[in-house]
Structures are given as C-alpha cells and as structure tokens.
A and B are shown apart, each in its own frame.
Chain A
Amino acid sequence: QLVESGGGLVQPGGSLRLSCKASGFTFSNYAINWVRQSPPRGLEWIAGISRLGDYAVYADSAKGRFTLSRDNARNTVYLQMDSLRVEDTALYYCAKDVNPPGIYGGNFWGQGTLVTVSS
C-alpha cells in the first residue's frame, strides 16, 4: 500500500511537504515516482528517487523548486515543494517501481493527495 499525505491549500510562493508512506512490501527494493494529475495538464511525471535514495531525477517543471528524499527506516518518501505556482495545483500520486525512477512510472500507485495553490 502507498498512502500520500501533506496536500492542502497554499498561497503562490509557498511551500508544502508531501509524504508517501509505504507498507506491505520491502520498501528499499523499489524506486518511488511522483506523478501529478490535473484537468488542464493531464498526467505529468514530476520526480523520482532511487530505491536507496542515492539519486533523484526531476522533470524540468520541478527542477530547482522540488526536492525528493526518502527514509527507508520509516518506509517513507518526502517531496518538498517550494516556490509553488498556481499551475502546480493537482492531485499528486506516488508510485512504486522495481525499475529505476523516471523510466516506467510505477506498477502500483497510491490514492493521491490534493495540492491547491491559490491566493
């Protein structure tokens, strides 16, 4: 199971930290990807982190503003989002994949957490 949390309403320029808590599988065997979904933009991959957390990859839209980290002892991945923009408004999913991040998305996704950026 993957459970996302941390979403909410934030003003433009603000920050949020999303969490993806895993259970029921060996967390350190899987990369974690974050994908967001919104009506105007559809599905958009934004970032992924390797299974050991030794590297992360980001979409251009996230580079310099979003930071991924993971704590395998807590079975949790964190997505720190800074300098948020109105266009970051979306439902944010985390997904696990045995493949490296940013390649195949993920074979199992959580239910998502909603981020709304608005003044």
Chain B
Amino acid sequence: DLVMTQSPLFLPVTLGQPASISCRSSQSLVYSDGDTCFSWFQQRPGQSPRRLIYKVSNRDSGVPDRFSGSGSGTDFTLKISRVEAEDVGVYYCAYATHQSLTFGGGTRVELK
C-alpha cells in the first residue's frame, strides 16, 4: 500500500518568514498521461480542506503565489515564501495511484 509521510508533524512559524513542509511517498508514481498525481491541501481551523496545489506545482485558482510546490519521484515540498496569519492550519499532501488517492497524516502550522 502507498504510504505518505509528512515532516515535520508540527511547524511553528514566524509571520513574514518562509516555511517548508516535506512529504515522502513509499512509491514513485506517474500517471498514464505522464503527470505526477501529487497535491497539497490546506485545512484552516474550523474549515473544510481546500486544495492548494495539484500536479506537484500547479496552484489552484485563488491560491496566493506565496505558496509553491516542487518535487518528483518520492520527495515533494510545499513552500510558503512569507507566512501570513491566515496560513495557520493543517497541511496535507496526497498522491494517487490507479485512481485511488492517499493522504499524508498532516503537518500542523502554528504561529510562534
């Protein structure tokens, strides 16, 4: 089974400073059309999750450009260039194999 491991589990951040979250997959996966089916999601306190990034590095509509995704194979990274207060929450990575999506356990981002 595919396992997604995020690090760190908890990330204290400073407003205006950069932040980075890592995600490692137990398998390297590429979809039949050549895309890597990897996404990042954000869940703010008390809200439903929303997707930030898909296909490793594509930002969804309305997502600020301070969020960026990168990586390949089994190692992926979400970066926030300058943390804002609204970025507090839990971030999840997700990877798909054979049209079955697996989420990571989440990284909690909080202000120092």
Contacts and interface: CB of A to CB of B under 8 A. Distances in A.
Interface string A29-58: 000010101000011110010000000010
A95 B41 CA distance: 12
A102 B101 contact: yes
A75 interface: no
B67 to A, nearest CB: 14
Interface string A86-114: 00000001010001111111111111100
Interface of A: 33, 35, 37, 42-45, 48, 57, 59-60, 93, 95, 99-112
B99 A102 contact: yes
A44 B99 CA distance: 14
Interface hub of A104, A108, A110, A111 (most chain B Cβ within 10 A): A104
Nearest to B101: A45
B11 interface: no
9 contacts: A42-B92, A45-B102, A45-B103, A57-B99, A104-B96, A107-B54, A107-B61, A108-B51, A109-B48
Contacts of A100: 99
Contacts, number: 69
Given A103-B31, A104-B39, A59 B100 contact: yes
Contacts of B49: 35, 37, 43, 93, 95, 109
Interface string B72-112: 00000000000000000000101010011111011000000
Contact of A43 (B31, B55, B92): B92
Tier of interface size on chain B: 20 to 34
A107 B51 contact: yes
A6 B94 CA distance: 27
Given A100-B99, A106-B51, A112-B48, 11 more contacts: A33-B101, A48-B99, A57-B100, A93-B49, A95-B51, A102-B100, A104-B94, A105-B41, A105-B51, A107-B51, A108-B51
A97 B44 CA distance: 20
A77 B96 CA distance: 22
